[in-house]
Structure 1
Amino acid sequence: MSKKVLVIGEAREGSLRNVTFEAIAAANIVSDGGEVVGVLCGDGDLSEMGQEMVYYGASRVITVSNPDLKTYTSDGYGQAVYQVIQDESPEGIIMGHTAIGKDLTPKLASKLESGLISDATEVIAEGGDVVFTRPIYSGKAFEKKVVTEGLVFATIRPNNIPALTRDDSLAGSISEKEVEISNIRTIIKDVLRKSSDGVDLSEAKVIIAGGRGVKSAEGFEPLEKLAEVLGGTVGASRGACDAGYCDYSLQIGQTGKVVTPDLYIACGISGAIQHLAGMSNSKVIVAINKDPEANIFNVADYGIVGDLFDVVPKLIEEIKEMKVNA
């Protein structure tokens, strides 16, 4: 049975995050041939980003522009999206499992008296039902969930569900909706970002992560060079962050960011269970460690026993040579 499904888009610095397009792909599965409606909140003209959502598979897009939505707040976005939901009466709502998604969706689910499937890594149609797969017990197991009645409300983990192919021949209406926003309890005066340069960790296809084995802040320099030649970004274990080698914005693990890149290279990381919870679902894992008994080798697809300061420069040289000869 076809359904109307809303996709709550998310933008950063004027550009849509990749997880928005992945959410559209998931919504097309949930809708079963029905209507996929994009929702974008912000300030100013949002039509260009709305058109991108159409090119990636949204049937139409609703933009909500208001000065109180210039920067995300739970109150502002909660009121705006709730009013769109009330007008549209969808059978499903999909959003990325991001910092904003994890804050906004429980608020909406509570207001709608609905359940919420969070952090889904797979969405498939099976026998007339839509089946969501999500990790539990820090990624040690997976559970499957099916919504048999009521609203289908879910967040999807970035970099797990492939986006549909962009097609600029697709057409869909983009309409602007006015909403009333009141009683904002949080006022954003300024935003100071602490993040790695380049690709966002949660959406990166290639991550080079360092642990205590990098020994110092300078020890991350070869990792940054390797990330540069591979077109990826740098992450870290909590041990490296606690030691002051890098900022906590790079932390990957149970108390940091959960990532699922195509390639994860762990350099000088022992493999504590808390770190594995944040990266063990990566598609290909390469471990570089001097200790052949390090736990990281138990989850790695490929392992290199050696000093990262010897191994990483050699990898960089080989990759550069391959690019030249390609």
Structure 2
Amino acid sequence: MGLEQYKDVWVFIECFQGKPKDVGFELMGQGRKLADGLKQNLCAVVIGKDVDEAVKEANYYGADKIYVVQGDEYANYSSDAYGNVFLQLCRKYKPNTILIGATINGRDLGSKVAVSLRTGLTADCTALFLEEETGNVVWERPAFGGNLYAQILCSETRPQMGTVRPCNFKKPEKVESNNAEIIRENIKMNSEDITTKLIEFLKSKDDLGIKIEEAEFIISGGRGMKAAENFAMLQELADVLGGTVGGSRAAVDAGWIPQTKQVGQTGKTVTPKIYIACGISGAVQHLAGMSSSDVIIAINKDASAPIFEVADYGLVGDVFEVVPAIIKEFRIAKNL
């Protein structure tokens, strides 16, 4: 089968307990650029139980078509059930390109589908664009610990697939007047064919506050914080601002903060309104996870620290003097 028979750009809208995750809508903006370049449709794929909200939002974020598969067996993600649905849809409609969020479930689904379809999958992409003359997507991802970026093509097979980090792109503007074609597929699966079962969902204690990937204000600490107890000062500033605390890999490796709070190449990619880096030198691996923040404020006593090259505002000084002063000023301003 020739590559020209594969059409359209698909975006998987991942849901959790019926609620759509933002990463799918972030990818709708990138999918639109690819679809327009290919002169093809942008399609959303929604799988789950009670996913009407996700379907409605996928329409608002610009889908031309929405493929919907609902059923009790899809209430919770499983590799068997979701993989089966996605494979059946791919074999029936033959998409050209598939974008999936690089979440735990997205990574699992992408690899299962790619292997079954005998096509390529580029994992953990941070950028992508189209070679319009060839129709190939250029998938860009960090390599060798973030010291260089690789550009990967899937030129011989289709669909071309990639998983993309959450919070790497901004969500496009909603268009509530959009009128996508909704295609509902009745794909059922026997419970005995689903080899993994969800017994109970336990929420991590690290998820009880504001998730770092969803926070508008992030106060991050690095090696310059010197000890775990000093992160209480950053938490105080985060509480005043209504944000959360993050950290560099050095802080995580030292055991000062949990790995779920790590920002950077081997942690989370974040795009808050304000990112305050405290005692962080600014290694390229860390910058890869936060350089798309709206405003970056760096506090470091080393005036030559690389973090100042990307910061919108830089304060050269002792973090243990600067941060308490900032907290004091915000408390005065808020009458706290």
TM-score (normalised: structure 1): 0.81
Residue in structure 2 matched with residue 234 of structure 1 by the alignment: 245
Q: Distance in 2 between matches of 1:259 and 1:55?
A: 24
Residue in structure 2 matched with residue 8 of structure 1 by the alignment: 12
User: How many angstroms does 1:91 deviate by?
Assistant: 1.5
The one-letter amino acid of 1:115's match is G
Report matched runs for 1:257-296 at 5 Å: 257-259=268-270, 261=272, 263-270=274-281, 275=286, 278-279=289-290, 285-290=296-301
Q: Distance in 2 between matches of 1:278 and 1:138?
A: 13
Instruction: Describe the shift of the 1:8–1:213 C-alpha distance in structure 2 as closer, same or farther (beyond 3 A).
Output: same
The one-letter amino acid of 2:144's match is Y
Q: Distance in 1 between matches of 2:241 and 2:65?
A: 36
SS across alignment from 1:201: coil
Q: Is the 8 A contact 2:13 2:54 kept in 1?
A: no
Report matched runs for 1:3-82 at 5 Å: 3-32=7-36, 33-43=39-49, 45-82=50-87
User: How many angstroms does 1:217 deviate by?
Assistant: 5.1
Instruction: Describe the shift of the 1:155–1:323 C-alpha distance in structure 2 as closer, same or farther (beyond 3 A).
Output: farther
User: How many angstroms does 1:94 deviate by?
Assistant: 1.0
Residue in structure 2 matched with residue 178 of structure 1 by the alignment: 187
Residue in structure 2 matched with residue 309 of structure 1 by the alignment: 320
SS across alignment from 1:264: strand
User: How many angstroms does 1:110 deviate by?
Assistant: 0.7
Residue in structure 1 matched with residue 233 of structure 2 by the alignment: 222
The one-letter amino acid of 1:266's match is A
Q: Is the 8 A contact 2:19 2:53 kept in 1?
A: no
Residue in structure 1 matched with residue 146 of structure 2 by the alignment: 139
User: How many angstroms does 1:6 deviate by?
Assistant: 1.9
Q: Extract unaligned runs of 5+ from structure 1.
A: none
Residue in structure 2 matched with residue 190 of structure 1 by the alignment: 200
TM-score (normalised: structure 2): 0.79
Instruction: Describe the shift of the 1:131–1:188 C-alpha distance in structure 2 as closer, same or farther (beyond 3 A).
Output: same
Q: Distance in 1 between matches of 2:145 and 2:91?
A: 35
Q: Distance in 2 between matches of 1:165 and 1:273?
A: 30
Q: Distance in 2 between matches of 1:276 and 1:160?
A: 12
Q: Is the 8 A contact 1:4 1:90 kept in 2?
A: yes
Q: Is the 8 A contact 1:208 1:267 kept in 2?
A: yes
Instruction: Describe the shift of the 1:233–1:177 C-alpha distance in structure 2 as closer, same or farther (beyond 3 A).
Output: farther
Q: Percent identity?
A: 42
SS across alignment from 1:185: coil
Q: Is the 8 A contact 2:99 2:161 kept in 1?
A: yes
The one-letter amino acid of 2:143's match is I
Q: Distance in 2 between matches of 1:180 and 1:219?
A: 52
Tell me the matched-pair count.
323
1:165 aligns with 2:170: no
Q: Is the 8 A contact 2:147 2:285 kept in 1?
A: no
Alignment root-mean-square deviation, CA:
3.4
Q: Distance in 1 between matches of 2:44 and 2:113?
A: 16
Q: Distance in 2 between matches of 1:3 and 1:228?
A: 48
Q: Distance in 2 between matches of 1:87 and 1:198?
A: 43
1:156 aligns with 2:164: yes
Deviates more, 1:171-180 or 1:294-303: 294-303
User: How many angstroms does 1:87 deviate by?
Assistant: 2.6
User: How many angstroms does 1:111 deviate by?
Assistant: 0.7
Q: Distance in 1 between matches of 2:330 and 2:154?
A: 47
User: How many angstroms does 1:9 deviate by?
Assistant: 0.8
User: How many angstroms does 1:151 deviate by?
Assistant: 1.7
Q: Distance in 1 between matches of 2:223 and 2:64?
A: 48
Q: Distance in 2 between matches of 1:81 and 1:199?
A: 32
Q: Distance in 1 between matches of 2:96 and 2:69?
A: 20
Q: Is the 8 A contact 2:222 2:280 kept in 1?
A: yes
Report matched runs for 1:121-140 at 5 Å: 121-128=126-133, 129=135, 130-140=137-147
Q: Distance in 1 between matches of 2:218 and 2:162?
A: 26
Q: Is the 8 A contact 1:258 1:278 kept in 2?
A: yes
Q: Is the 8 A contact 1:227 1:234 kept in 2?
A: yes
Q: Distance in 2 between matches of 1:306 and 1:6?
A: 48
The one-letter amino acid of 1:57's match is G
User: How many angstroms does 1:66 deviate by?
Assistant: 3.2
Residue in structure 2 matched with residue 208 of structure 1 by the alignment: 219
1:104 aligns with 2:109: yes
SS across alignment from 2:193: coil
User: How many angstroms does 1:10 deviate by?
Assistant: 1.4
